[in-house]
Amino acid sequence: MGSARTQSTLLTFAEARQIVEECASRLSPTEPDTVSLLDALGLVLAEGLCADRDFPPFPRATRDGYAVRAADLASPSARLRLIGEIKAGGPLQEGLSIGSGEAAEIMTGAPVPSGADAVVMVEYTERNGKIVNVQRTVQPGENVVAPGSEATRGSLMVARGTRVTHTTIAVAAAVGRPEIAVCRRPKVAILATGDELVDINLPPRANEIRNSNSYSLAAQVNQAGGEPMILPVAPDSADELALLLRKGLDADLLLVTGGVSAGKYDLVEHVLASFEARFIFTGARIQPGKPVVFGEVMLRDRTTPFFGLPGNPVSTMVTFQLFAKPILDGLSGATPQPLPFAKAMLKSSFTTRTGLTRFLPASLGGVYDQPEVELIRWQSSGDLMAVSRSNCYIVVPPEREAFATGEEVTILLF
Ligand code: AMP
Ligand code: MG
């Protein structure tokens, strides 16, 4: 029952993306929850992480070598007298102070003693009992990180709204936080539609296929910090679809897959319209994923955003990443993240048709200073094998049709 839409009335990719970003920025995040540090990975900080002490807490040597006074090394070959050894984590030697003509052996991560203002690397020295000969000059401050220069006590190290990665975990650990406050994972209902679908634990009949989209979406939702709730498959019948949609609208976000194209049994829009849904857009000039639908439904005093994602497996994956992910970010309290675009050199030429922004499954390889990308041959947007062998999409702007080997192209990383 999908409405007939002409291409010219459809939004461009950039317009559709801008709309979801704007909607995402107006969403209120879920309630905060305190979780143990490693369980926070992939979730969003509901509090800022502050320094509980200066970072570093003492002038930290960044090299193994000798703590010295830079002024003593003005001449090319200085001779210094060794007066001690400072290892990382060793007892603080309060009395130890480096005077003129003196040095102390020091290890990476150890506090530079008073009097010294630099560390000279062991590689530039020669030791002879209690005497060290230095063949190089050093600048004051060289190989020493001043106390508080990374963060001063009480200052914000990681802002609220940051999605927790291994780097955030490191900061939380460094400031002594075995537990941190994160926004609760938004609940995302996933509803696959289509008479041809059977669930993965049942044998498909000759005219049926297995429901893979609910699982790929659940995986993408999980990875994006949401809590997927897979609903039973909805057949292509308005009444049963309505029942399941209503259930899905109890979640923080509803993702429907299939049934949004212009076919006779594409009922999703029609049934959502009967709930007085507000359709924010119905279609975008992209491939795969052109029939994508975005809107919201007010039911029982709460507004639930929803997406109708086209059922072809690659279309579902692409439209989730392009449009549903920012909404999930907004619900999670995350500051909006740009899509992970990059550039790479095209390994083999290809042609396509103009008119749509295309996201074509591709394989990114090459070496660090010459990333290379190549299209994966595919049988259009239902081709699961092709997408499973890809690790990015080549992004084709709507006005382009021919790409030459060696050209730099834009890619979208998964
Ligand atoms: P539709 O968007 O409903 O027109 O479906 C487009 C294509 O995607 C058809 O070939 C469907 O059989 C297929 N498809 C729809 N939903 C799923 C699903 N959940 N899992 C795998 N394939 C699907
Ligand atoms: Mg269908």
| Band (8; pLDDT cuts 50, 70, 90) | low
pLDDT, tens digit (0-9, with 9 covering 90-100), for 59-113: 999 999 999 999 999 887 899 999 999 999 988 888 899 999 999 999 999 999 9
Report residue 297 CA to chain centroid gap: 28
Mutation pick for ligand 1 pocket among 210, 212, 213 (CB with most ligand atoms within 8 Å): 213
Calculate how far, in angstroms, residue 270's C-alpha sits from the geometric centre of ligand 2: 14
C-alpha torsion angle, residues 308, 301, 161, 155 (rounded to 10)? 170
Please tell me the number of the ligand nearest to residue 291's CA: 1
DSSP state of 381: G
Residues in contact with 132: Cβ distance below 8 Å, sequence separation at least 6, in sequence order? 66, 79, 80, 82, 103, 125, 126
Give me the pLDDT at residue 1, please. Answer: 40
Write down the mean pLDDT value for the chain: 95
Tell me the C-alpha distance between 251 and 230, whole Å.
11
Tell me the C-alpha distance between 334 and 13, whole Å.
22
Q: Is this model's pTM higher than 0.85 or not? A: yes
Return the ∠ at Cα 185 (arms to 292 and 190), rounded to 5°: 35
pLDDT, tens digit (0-9, with 9 covering 90-100), for 154-203: 999 999 999 999 999 999 999 999 999 999 999 999 999 999 999 999 99
The answer to whether residue 124 scores a pLDDT higher than 80 is yes
Mean per-residue pLDDT for 265-276? 92
Residue 400: CA atoms inside 13 Å, Cβ hemisphere, count? Answer: 16
Please tell me the number of the ligand nearest to residue 256's CA: 1
Of the candidates 190, 201, 194, the residue with the CA atom closest to the CA atom of residue 224: 190
Residue of minimum CA distance from atom 23 in ligand 1: 311
DSSP bridge pairs for 345: 372, 408
* % of the chain residues with pLDDT over 70: 98
Mean per-residue pLDDT for 24-50? 96
Residue of minimum CA distance from atom 3 in ligand 1: 258
Tell me the C-alpha distance between 257 and 208, whole Å.
16
Asked if 92 and 104 count as a contact pair (C-beta separation under 8 A), the reply is no
Report residue 328 CA to chain centroid gap: 12
Asked if 96 and 113 count as a contact pair (C-beta separation under 8 A), the reply is yes
pLDDT, tens digit (0-9, with 9 covering 90-100), for 402-414: 999 999 999 999 9
